[in-house]
Copies of this chain bind each other. A is one copy, B any other.
């Protein structure tokens, strides 16, 4: 039976990424050696990281003066690296979900933290829009896509203070205006690579403005200076990222990824809104293209377990919603084919007919 991988992350990757990474692990470029057992200082691996950086810059149209880094530790480590490098006195955070809250919590260890707005009281079903960014804060932090709640900030925000964004789950799903950001970071395990590598896009001149001691590994300038090779980088995830970036380019770039994401989301949200059994959980105007959350309408609530089983038997994987929202979540990352969404929609329609 064909599997449809709606996992929220780690999640579906292009078939070419999977196959070529497996191939490189068996033998890199016909060298007779595995990708796992060569030095990161070899020409072969330098070519990999160089290509990954170049494709990042090309695909996201990153302007001069920005560096692209591949680090270890995950986005959760960035939650403290950001205040380490940017928080002198005060930081501003937009609280749009669990991950935004975790980022905010770490910043509190370093200085004053202002929550400019929050949708916590509404279980994060919307993105707050009516707020003022404090002009005297060192930076403003946002989480562009909220994987758990299925909301997304799809327009680049204007900020007069340095803008910092966690884009773990929507990077490469649309064109972004990088020049509006001081720093963009994310775990790679959604649209890019297996878990184990974190990407960072940082405006070089935004750094060096804090007075505190920064441990070497937590200082972005260390990694800029050493081209992400201050220590041995996570070679396999970086290789996989390069393969995914090649795939994005070959498929038509981030504009095409956005077109596909819109097409898939229209299909699935359309069915959620039409089907008598289901209802979406996020405010319509803030709906995420990446993570589509829906539950059974109150009157059909007792059918949820049955639908979960029904869909699983038809090859749907990873559609169980996060416990804090319940119901279902279909993650539609770049590599998920339209056919998988069509299969899920067919499943929902078939189930509706039975009830």
Contact = CB atoms under 8 A, between A and B. Distances in A.
Given A3-B32, A196-B196, A236-B194, A76 B22 contact: no
Given A73-B77, A234-B72, A11 B26 contact: no
Interface of A: 3, 5, 7-13, 17-19, 21-23, 25-26, 32-40, 71-77, 79-80, 102, 105-106, 109, 187, 189, 193-197, 213, 215-218, 230-237, 240, 317-318
Given A36-B240, A196-B235, 5 more contacts: A10-B37, A10-B235, A22-B26, A25-B25, A75-B231
A109 B77 contact: no
15 contacts: A3-B33, A5-B33, A9-B232, A10-B39, A17-B36, A21-B36, A36-B193, A74-B217, A77-B231, A79-B216, A80-B215, A80-B217, A196-B233, A196-B235, A196-B237
Contacts of A7: 37-39
A196 B188 CA distance: 13
B231 A37 contact: no
Nearest to A12: B37
A39 B18 CA distance: 16
A147 to B, nearest CB: 11
B22 A234 contact: no
A126 to B, nearest CB: 26
Contacts of A5: 33, 37
